[in-house]
Amino acid sequence: MTLVRTLLILFSLIVVSLSTLSPLVSEARAESSFTFAFAGDTGQYSGSFANSAASLQALPPGLTFFVDVGDISYNGTSNGFPATGNEVFWCNFVKTNIQPNLGPNFPWIQVVGNHEDGNSTFAKDGYIDAFTSPNCLPKPAGIGFIPSTAGCADASVYSGCYGREGYWDFPVGQPLARFIMVAGSEKIGNGTTAGYNYCPLSACNNLNFDKRWNWLKGVIDQAKAGGEWVIVFDHKPCLSPDLATSCEGNGTFNGHNPAAQMWNLFFSEGVDLVINGHAHLHARSKQLTCLGPTEPSSASLTSVVYSPSCVADDGSDNVYTRGKGVVNVIDGAFSQTDDQINFTRPATSYFATAMSARYSPTPSSHVCCLVNGSPTDMNSGIGFGEITVTADQLSYTWQMSLETRFIGSQSPTFSDTFVIRNDQPGQSSTLFGGIGGFLNENWIISIATAAALSIPVIILRIRIAGRKHRQPLP
């Protein structure tokens, strides 16, 4: 028995030692954090050159990466220039303006928008592959981008699906969040192919759409199962409080709008945050569970029907609870000041706050902003979103880089902050669920514990066998 006691003590010490080391890993993950920034519609053509420079220079030190959510430069046919050939000018412009604050190798991540979704012949204001080329702003090292398995036939040989479809987990190794980029409703390639839609076969009856739908569902579900925050970047929003942005889905397929179907997937799979550009303003939605009682028609400004039952949290206290619905942020005012809020549009009722950077808003009520659902006149301007990620919450701040509209020195200036709190327990609340979760996350301890418990049984069997062997024959 002395041997048994010695072995039990030895294995107990191993288990205790491992159990004191393992929580250090969990605590390190729980205490880790990082901050990234993002915006869409970043262009620096002649009419917005100074605005874009101001926003680039305002990006603060300490950021982990920046995500450009499409409509990158506008230096093409929109402003009287050739469709392509100006991409390197934009890339050098970015590097010149961010390097003093962020250094020479700052990760700049790019998502395709409709102004660069063609190819070298059909693009409007640049081609996405030229922006992501090794000579421009290539795929950042260390991000760990995983391209879509649905296949991006139009992609270049050096970028794969980067800029179109894929995801990255961050931090690499012990991720807190999964970032997914999609090219919703974009016609990348010849300018006419409806290739980037996400819709189940049962709805749209299209195999290509279904393939992308299943890829997107799979990467969302995988991240949710791992306890990661899920943040989606897509240039075009389905809901918007502005004058002209609709739920664009490249048409109607089998009676359904693919853009609305993709949003149904965000709701059903529990996406935490969707980030868009395209509308040239800032807007932050309420926490939503649906788009309304009817599916919005593709490219229709009037098809959205507001329903209070779709609102899980109106966002008036700037605090959301994870898992109750999807929060949508539109940041398309990095350099653009030409959009306005439509206060009478049904879709506007789905937003908690919004801001136009236009110098002189002209719609009815003549005000710039929406605050807690009410039109409010304030100073406003261009800028970008900034989010700090921890295991416990996503913390958002609208960062204004330049005021573009003044209504008086004593008037308040627009601002927006919110948090999504992770109030859900990470493990099962039951005794056996808690034990199972602990052992699953601490597999080394599980092995050591199993070994420690099995040793006495093995020794006891050996001793019994030995006694039987020594018994005298009758």
List 232's β-bridge partners, or say none: 180, 274
Q: Hey, what are 290's tokens? A: 């649906």
The per-type count for the chain, helices as H runs and strands as E runs, is 9, 19
Within 13 Å and on the Cβ side, how many CA atoms surround 314?
11
Render 162-211 in DSSP notation, one character per residue.
Answer: TTTSEEEEESSSS-SEEEEEE-TTB-TTTS----B----HHHH--HHHHH
pLDDT of residue 84: 92
Task: State the pLDDT at residue 145.
Answer: 96
Strand pairing class (327-331; 282-285): antiparallel
pLDDT (tens digit per residue) in 238-285: 999 999 999 999 899 999 999 999 999 999 999 999 999 999 999 999
CA–CA dist 127, 292 (Å, integer) = 35
Helix H or strand E segment including 458: helix 443-470
The full DSSP string for 94-162 is HHHHHHHHH-TT--EEE---GGG-S-TTT-SS--HHHHTSTTSSPPPTTS--EE-SS--TT--TTTTTT
pLDDT at position 439: 38
CA atoms in the 13 A half-sphere facing the CB of 344: 4
- The CB-side HSE value for 80 (13 A sphere, CA atoms) comes to 3
SS3 content of the chain, % helix, strand, coil (to 5): 30, 20, 50
* Sheet of 417-421, strand order: 108-110, 66-68, 34-39, 380-389, 393-405, 417-421, 319-321
Q: What is the pLDDT of residue 364?
A: 81
Radius of gyration of the chain (CA): 27
Note the pLDDT of residue 193.
63
Backbone dihedral angles phi then psi of residue 9, each to the nearest 5 degrees:
-65, -45
| Nearest by Cα to 336 from 123, 107, 73 | 73
- What own/partner pairs with CB < 8 Å and gap ≥ 24 does 22-31 have? 22/441, 22/442, 22/444, 22/445, 25/174, 26/441, 28/174, 29/174, 29/176, 29/391, 30/390, 30/391, 30/392
DSSP string, 385-450: EEEEE-SSEEEEEEEEEEEEE-S-TTS-B---EEEEE--S-SS-SSHHHHHHHHHHH-HHHHHHHH
DSSP 319: E
In the chain, which stretches have pLDDT less than 70? 1-31, 157-158, 191-194, 424-474
Query: β-strands 177-182, 311-313: how paired?
Result: unpaired
The pLDDT, as a whole number, for residue 154 is 76
| 278-296 per-position pLDDT tens digit | 999 999 999 999 999 999 9
Which pLDDT does position 190 carry in this prediction?
72
CB atoms within 10 A of CB 36: 20
Q: Within 10 A of 172 (CB to CB), how many other CB atoms are there?
A: 10
Secondary structure class of 365 (helix, strand, coil): coil
- C-alpha dist (Å) from residue 286 to 176, 181, 377: 24, 22, 21
The Cα 55–Cα 97 span in angstroms is: 9
Distance CA 302, CA 296 (A): 8
Q: Which amino acid is at 243?
A: L
User: 323: burial class by Cβ within 10 Å (0-12, 13-18, 19+)?
Assistant: middle
Q: What angle do CA 234, 237, 239 make, to 5 degrees?
A: 150
Of 409, 412, 398, which is closest to residue 58 (Cα–Cα)? 398
The half-sphere exposure of 233 on its side-chain side, counting CA atoms within 13 A, is 29
Q: What is the pTM of this model?
A: 0.85
